Amino acid sequence: MSKRVLIVDDEENLRHILSIILTKEGYEVEAVKNGREALNCLEKSIYDTVLCDIRMPVMDGITFLKAVQSSEFGVRSKTPETQNSKLKTLSLPTIIMMSAYGAIDDAIEAMKLGAYDYISKPFKSDEVILTIRKAEERERLRRENSELREVVKKDFGVTGIITKNEEMVKMLATVKKVADYKTTVLITGESGTGKELIARALHYNGGRGSKAFVAVNCGAIPENLLESEFFGHVKGAFTDAVRNKKGLFEEAEGGTLFLDEIGELPFHLQVKLLRALQEEEIMRIGDTKPIRVSVRIVAATVKDLGREVKEGRFREDLFYRLNVLPIHLPPLRERPEDIPALSSHFMGKYKDRHGIKVGAVSPDAMKLLMDYTWPGNVRELENAIERSVLLSEGENITVSALPPAVRGKMVSASPGTGLKTGIPSDNLSIKKAARAMEEELIKRALEKSHGNRTHAAELLELSHRALLYKIKEYGIKG
């Protein structure tokens, strides 16, 4: 379908020439002689682009532009009928002004009022075509972007969060309500309960959704790098600072900074974070002037921060600053009613992803899913369902496709999966062997703890921070 252009100019000659040029380029063209007539056209029909003169009798270009941009016109042009017409993604046309030689001020005013561009008379035909093409390209990108945003919303929006639990439903209502505000939110809950999912929902459902969502795992970054990660640095601030670097606060400007595993933040950084939150400004390391930042903070932790405060590991003032709106996610074992819904949600997801046909979870298998305690919570259930989809042989997911832990058998390392397997046999480097062994041990601990990292860290006799760091370093999934 060819694009439609509306030409608005009081000079007959110019309307004629432009019509010829644009028709030759494949556009469907209509031409009128003033703003009033142009408004009538826009009410009756849909155009992609309007080429509009500024000085005209009856209604000039600026008045026309204001009328188009005014909400009244905008609302009228978005009535259900026009939305259901074949051009259902109706939006206002892109307006390009034509200004007389020397009337640059008019053109600038028009741009301020929302015109996309202007061309000065006299112009060459190439120039007109190029400007229209540019406007079309921008419009295409704009649409693509808003479609993308819709997709992202679907994935992370409150709609993508499955629950039948009353407490969770109430919590989701709160998430929707506060998404638009800059309120600091502290999300607590065991590993795998959906803390990051909620953080993203808060971001993508609010007015900041089109800006950045920056996630940082406070436990996975080496302590000595944390400050520069958060606040950035200027060139020369320390030996490795070879150039200026923006920190995460600046990266998240206008959007959300998700401080995951906030309970792992070292004490001296807690002070600096508190200051940044209170002042809403940060200072790059080595810099002398502060930078203002507008960032929404969402923090998450598996720890009981109140207890951390009592035991002197977490600053009380920072705790209160973060705990403005607490959201607690109950473990999956406390909301078994969510298991069937989540199971079919994940089945759908992995069926599509792996192109496998499976119908449902068999009643026996569902009973086992309901009886199991899910120490790794929703993440563990998701992994179990993915595995079952892959292993299922018939139409349904049956007991035999479920992970051993869910089937009630002990996870026993079969012979031959001893630690030796992780060690490269052709290499005698102690360093390499130690790394391989470390990786193997971490994987086992995670398996044993069903993906619960807090528990895995205890098994490994490692700090939670060190474990998170190593998981990231080795790229271990789970």
Report d(CA 262, CA 247) in Å as an integer: 17
61 touches ligand ATP (CB under 6 A): no
454 touches Mg ion (CB under 5 A): no
> Quick one: 290 or 348, whose CB is closer to ligand ATP?
348
161 touches ligand ATP (CB under 6 A): yes
> Quick one: 106 or 382, whose CB is closer to ligand ATP?
382
165 touches ligand ATP (CB under 6 A): no
For residue 456, with 0-12 CB atoms within 10 Å meaning exposed, 13-18 middle and 19 or more buried, which class applies? buried
Report d(CA 106, CA 160) in Å as an integer: 48
Supply the minimum distance, in Å, between the C-beta of residue 191 and Mg ion: 7
Which residue's entry shows tokens 């971001």? Answer: 203
Within residues 195-234, the interface with ligand ATP by CB under 6 A covers: 195-197
Phi first, then psi: give them for residue 376, nearest 5 degrees: -95, 10
Supply the minimum distance, in Å, between the C-beta of residue 378 and Mg ion: 11
Supply the minimum distance, in Å, between the C-beta of residue 141 and ligand ATP: 29
Within residues 450-469, the interface with ligand ATP by CB under 6 A covers: 453
Residue 463 zone, left/alpha/beta (φ > 0; ψ -120 to 50; rest): beta
Q: How many residues bind ligand ATP (CB under 6 A)?
A: 18
Site string for ligand ATP, 299-318 (x = CB under 6 A): ---x----------------
User: Of the listed pieces 127-135, 160-168, 364-372, 457-465, which binds ligand ATP according to CB under 6 A?
Assistant: 160-168
C-beta nearest to Mg ion: residue: 196
Report d(CA 289, CA 292) in Å as an integer: 10
Distances (CA, A) of 192 to 111, 342, 444: 50, 13, 18
Element (H, E) at 281: strand 281-282
| Interface residue with Mg ion, options 28, 117, 136, 196 (CB under 5 A) | 196
Supply the minimum distance, in Å, between the C-beta of residue 382 and ligand ATP: 5
List the one residue out of 116, 153, 145, 155 whose CA is nearest residue 133.
116
> Quick one: 189 or 232, whose CB is closer to ligand ATP?
189
Site string for ligand ATP, 379-398 (x = CB under 6 A): x--x----------------
8 Å CB contact between 450 and 378: no
> Quick one: 192 or 232, whose CB is closer to ligand ATP?
192
Residues 6+ apart with CB under 8 A from 298: 184, 185, 186, 187, 199, 202, 203, 256, 257, 258, 259
> Quick one: 196 or 287, whose CB is closer to Mg ion?
196
| Interface residue with ligand ATP, options 35, 194, 209, 247 (CB under 6 A) | 194
189 touches ligand ATP (CB under 6 A): yes
Measured on CA atoms in the order 119, 124, 129, 131, is the torsion positive or negative?
negative
Q: How many residues bind Mg ion (CB under 5 A)?
A: 1
22: which 2 tokens? 């644009």
Report d(CA 470, CA 318) in Å as an integer: 27
> Quick one: 116 or 346, whose CB is closer to ligand ATP?
346
- A 10 A CB-CB count for 143 gives 12
User: Of the listed pieces 11-19, 103-111, 156-164, 270-278, which binds ligand ATP according to CB under 6 A?
Assistant: 156-164
> Quick one: 115 or 381, whose CB is closer to ligand ATP?
381
Which residue's entry shows tokens 């990292």? Answer: 453
| Interface residue with ligand ATP, options 252, 378, 456, 457 (CB under 6 A) | 378
> Quick one: 197 or 259, whose CB is closer to ligand ATP?
197
Work out the angle between the directed axes of helices 104-112 and 61-69 (0-180°, nearest 10).
10
Distances (CA, A) of 449 to 18, 295, 299, 455, 467: 72, 35, 24, 6, 13
> Quick one: 228 or 343, whose CB is closer to ligand ATP?
343
Supply the minimum distance, in Å, between the C-beta of residue 383 and ligand ATP: 9
| Interface residue with ligand ATP, options 34, 49, 94, 163 (CB under 6 A) | 163
Judged by the rule CB under 6 A, the positions of this chain that interact with ligand ATP are 161-163, 189, 191-197, 302, 342, 345, 378-379, 382, 453
Judged by the rule CB under 5 A, the positions of this chain that interact with Mg ion are 196
